[in-house]
Structure 1
Amino acid sequence: MAATTTTILPFVGGQSYSPQTETTDEILDPADKSILAVVPRCTPADVDAAVRSADHAFRTVWRKTTPSQRSAALLRVAHAIEDRTEQFALLESQDAGKPIAAARKEIAIAVDHLRFFAGAARTLEGAVAGEYLPGMTSMLRRDPLGVVGQIAPWNYPLLMAIWKCGPALAVGNTVVLKPAETTPLSTLLLAEVAGQFLPDGALNVVTGAVETGEAVVAHPDVRMVSITGSTRAGRRVAELSATQLKRAHLELGGKAPSIIFDDVDPEVVAHEVAAAAFYNAGQDCTAATRMIVHEAIYDDFIKALASAASGYTMGHTAAEETTLGPVSNALQHERINGVLERCPGHIEKINGKASDALKGYFVDPTILVGVDQRDEVVQNEIFGPVVTAQSFNTPEQALTLANGTNYALASSVWTSNLDRALRFSTDLEFGCVWVNNHLSVTAEFPHGGGKDTGGGKDLSTAVLHEYTEARHVMFGSLGSK
């Protein structure tokens, strides 16, 4: 008898919801291509049911809560996730192809960030109330928008779901969240756990692919949409949002440079940037993808980087010793291999440990040298364990190479010269500039960039403002009788 595959349902109105569809997606473990579960593809009618549930929760309950009440509820959710760390980590590992040790650490980060949003709910600030015109008293309100539609990516399923729903809920909105169609499992568990502490309908999770996401974005009762994803997907969200003049929060792709000067130890820095390049199999919009290295240490750096790339233990994500897992899905595996196959003849490929014997969607850590600034591999986001390397001989040349893409999310500079570091922190055209580190994130500071990265800011109190409407209330005087 064939084994039965579990069907996991969307979460709407505080409970599991049976969609009006027979179309489903198989959720695969990218480490071995085994089927984990089957998840329905929600229709526009299902999305409408989720939006109506969210709107009811907003109007009747959630918008009327105080910041302290919302904070307390979110803290309870964070604590419940922490109590179930191993369950969440296992789902994240199986669903997204993360080594189990890395998945556990990411659950802890997600919990920490949700606790930040819970605390920040009580700290919204604005202009001081006062008399800015004679006889008139002005005050500023920051009110929730209503139902927020959100689309999360597949590279950090739970963490990105927290980045989406955490701030939206903290300021009094309700949420319809669509996880990536290949990695919905931890987000569905999040909804189930959160449902114990939030009003029914405050957090709804619909599952499906592009059509489901577009139904969320285009729904007339969704007042704001937020996406973390590719620039192409972000443009589509912006187009759909523009037809209704609704707010769109876009956190999109990246192509982060790491500028390495000749006043650092190339071997030490090579191992640091390798960790920032190959963590999560390079599937991070802030990953160190472009090595821009001073010519005096270029050869030594490349040798050390190749050594670091060969030092990862590739294997099944359930193994504690695995340090580099597969890419998250078949389509991404195909895309990365396609980019590598299209490399022009002037590019040399330096590969790390071979993955040929592994069954899943594995890609060897790869360094591309001899690249030209105009090459596809330099200009376009690859989103895998692949980096490019270029040399420079003047600071001006390094800046030109670093800023010479359409992405503007993150960058790093490696130097022992403080004056140089300060200059580059100003001249690098990226939303984040790391100095002598790369990939570190703290909830207290904003995360986002410009150009094709989209301009949306996640984390910090800045994101709370994104999810609120600033309203000016002015009091006049009718005089006294």
Structure 2
Amino acid sequence: MTTALRRLRNYIDGEFRDAADGRTTEVVNPATGEAYATAPLSAAADVDAAMAAAEAAFPAWRDLIPAERQKVLLKIADRFEERAEELIAAESENCGKPIALVRSEEIPPMVDQIRFFAGAARMLEGRAAGEYMDGFTSIIRREPVGVCAQVAPWNYPMMMAVWKFAPALAAGNTVVIKPSDTTPASTVLIADIIGSVLDELGHSRGVFNVICGDRETGRLMVEHKVPAMASITGSVRAGMQVAESASKDLKRVHLELGGKAPVVVFEDTDIAKAVEDISVAGYFNAGQDCTAATRVLVQDSIHDEFVAALAKAASETKTGAVDDEDVLYGPLNNANQLKQVKGFIERLPAHAKIEAGGEQVGEKGYFFAPTVVSGLKQDDEIVQQEVFGPVITVQSFSDEKQAVEWANGVEYALASSVWTKDHARAMRMSKSLDFGCVWINTHIPLVAEMPHGGFKKSGYGKDLSAYGFDDYTRIKHVMTSLDG
């Protein structure tokens, strides 16, 4: 006897709909490896319908005064709190994440981020009006860009949806968002929440639309003629494809892609404290985080002591069931990701040494042990490429110059951290590290007021902060004659 799978649906113009052609894909809980739902495999007709709804809703939403958009976002934040347990359950099933950690580490910041952008809606900035030519006054208008096509990833599907829709809606844009095909459940629930708020406050529900589907669905969204902007959080390959597709009609593009964060540990560091914080920042969410502390460079004088302490911390780190409050992380998101992480370990060079972990754990699901690999060289695959799993690599460096060279010697440039008691050294490193974020004696904290985004193959554009809000606006110069 089989259990009937739950049916997830698209949300278009205020209605939950199946794909026009009826196609679906199964959604698997990574903690069990078993399907629990089906979701639409949306095609061109579904994308057309969602874009038409967003396009029709745009003029009225654009023309609202910012205070009215703020009311909507504040109500959405309130509703997230009221329906938090539903969101937690959906995200845990989506990703196999520990319930307690979703409750403590995801719901509060998401609510705070929505409220931040609700305030940002009323803080439009530009140059002061003035006369820059005799007889003429110039002013700056900051306007929404239009319909936004947004693609969210599977590592934080709920939070990344917030990072996308909150600034877009606050700035006066309308949205069509696609969750990953492996994690659609929480985004569909968000659609229900936002739709109900829009309805209660008398706004078109076409302001926010959700399309489920695969890479082809995402391609159709990005290449569609309606959106003025395409935003994606995903892999470097996906970002390049989006940029190429968007270039065909010169859409604005916002890309938050991969990372390979260096964690530079100097000999004057408090080793016990650094190991404790780095292991959490490396293994949280099974290392499936573009900013994860998974590439450690430690000064040679403390290398052996540090590696031993890190291996011990790994052996004491627990992964497991969603209802176990002692676990730090759950499974990898899908079978392909598990295969990818295993592949990195299987291809390790002979000079590498597995200090802890290195294997799949459990009889079901996609769990992988917290892993430490030492003895690595700068050009090793596992150092250069994003593993996106609970694997921390360790390299030994001799001096500050070498640390900077190796830290910057990858194609990614999203985040980094420096561990030292020397203030001058910390300031030199923060200048020299070519990454969008540099943490000092910590790794991974984020706040709504500060930007998140990288350089090089980590993409361009910012999430969070006033800079993230600005990315969803355009600038218009208005000039008037003083002669009447």
TM range, normalised to the smaller chain?
A: over 0.9
Contact 2:283–2:328, Cα closer than 8 Å, also in 1: no
Matched, 1:249 2:248: no
Aligned-partner residue type, residue 3 of structure 2: A
Cross-structure match for 1:347: 352
User: Alpha-carbon deviation of 1:437?
Assistant: 0.4
Contact 1:310–1:353, Cα closer than 8 Å, also in 2: no
Cross-structure match for 1:90: 89
Aligned-partner residue type, residue 226 of structure 2: D
17-26 or 212-221, which moves further after superposition? 17-26
Cross-structure match for 2:367: 362
313-322 or 433-442, which moves further after superposition? 313-322
Cross-structure match for 1:65: 64
Contact 1:312–1:353, Cα closer than 8 Å, also in 2: no
Cα deviation code 1:184-232 (max 9, x no counterpart) = 1111100110001222100000000001000100001111000000000
Matched, 1:183 2:188: no
Return the alpha-carbon distance in structure 2 between the equivalents of residues 366 and 15 of structure 1: 45
Within 5 A, what are the aligned runs for 1:101-250? 101-105=100-104, 106-198=106-198, 199-250=204-255
Return the alpha-carbon distance in structure 2 between the equivalents of residues 318 and 22 of structure 1: 35
Cross-structure match for 1:30: 30
Please state whether the residue corresponding to 2:197 is helix, strand or coil.
Answer: coil
Aligned-partner residue type, residue 91 of structure 1: A
Within 5 A, what are the aligned runs for 1:316-465? 316-352=321-357, 355-465=360-470
Aligned-partner residue type, residue 416 of structure 1: K
Unmatched segments (≥5 aa) in structure 1: none
Contact 2:358–2:371, Cα closer than 8 Å, also in 1: no
Aligned-partner residue type, residue 166 of structure 2: G
TM-score, normalization by structure 1: 0.98
Cross-structure match for 2:51: 51
User: Alpha-carbon deviation of 1:355?
Assistant: 4.9
TM-score, normalization by structure 2: 0.97
Return the alpha-carbon distance in structure 2 between the equivalents of residues 21 and 390 of structure 1: 52
Return the alpha-carbon distance in structure 1 between the equivalents of residues 233 and 191 of structure 2: 19
Unmatched segments (≥5 aa) in structure 2: 199-203
Aligned-partner residue type, residue 305 of structure 1: L
Return the alpha-carbon distance in structure 2 between the equivalents of residues 298 and 205 of structure 1: 49
Cross-structure match for 2:7: 7
User: Alpha-carbon deviation of 1:354?
Assistant: 6.4
User: Alpha-carbon deviation of 1:367?
Assistant: 1.2
**Percent identity (aligned):** 48
User: Alpha-carbon deviation of 1:258?
Assistant: 0.5
**Please, what is the CA RMSD of the aligned residues?**
1.2
Please state whether the residue corresponding to 1:183 is helix, strand or coil.
Answer: coil
The verdict on how the C-alpha distance between 1:275 and 1:293 changes in structure 2, with shifts beyond 3 A counting, is same
User: Alpha-carbon deviation of 1:98?
Assistant: 1.0
Return the alpha-carbon distance in structure 2 between the equivalents of residues 197 and 261 of structure 1: 51
Return the alpha-carbon distance in structure 2 between the equivalents of residues 156 and 324 of structure 1: 13
Contact 1:195–1:203, Cα closer than 8 Å, also in 2: yes
User: Alpha-carbon deviation of 1:6?
Assistant: 1.4
Contact 1:280–1:325, Cα closer than 8 Å, also in 2: yes
Contact 1:154–1:180, Cα closer than 8 Å, also in 2: yes
2-11 or 297-306, which moves further after superposition? 2-11
Count of residue correspondences: 478
Please state whether the residue corresponding to 2:79 is helix, strand or coil.
Answer: helix
Matched, 1:274 2:279: yes
Return the alpha-carbon distance in structure 2 between the equivalents of residues 354 and 463 of structure 1: 39
Return the alpha-carbon distance in structure 2 between the equivalents of residues 221 and 421 of structure 1: 47
Cross-structure match for 1:472: 477
The verdict on how the C-alpha distance between 1:311 and 1:115 changes in structure 2, with shifts beyond 3 A counting, is same
Contact 2:414–2:455, Cα closer than 8 Å, also in 1: yes
User: Alpha-carbon deviation of 1:268?
Assistant: 1.7
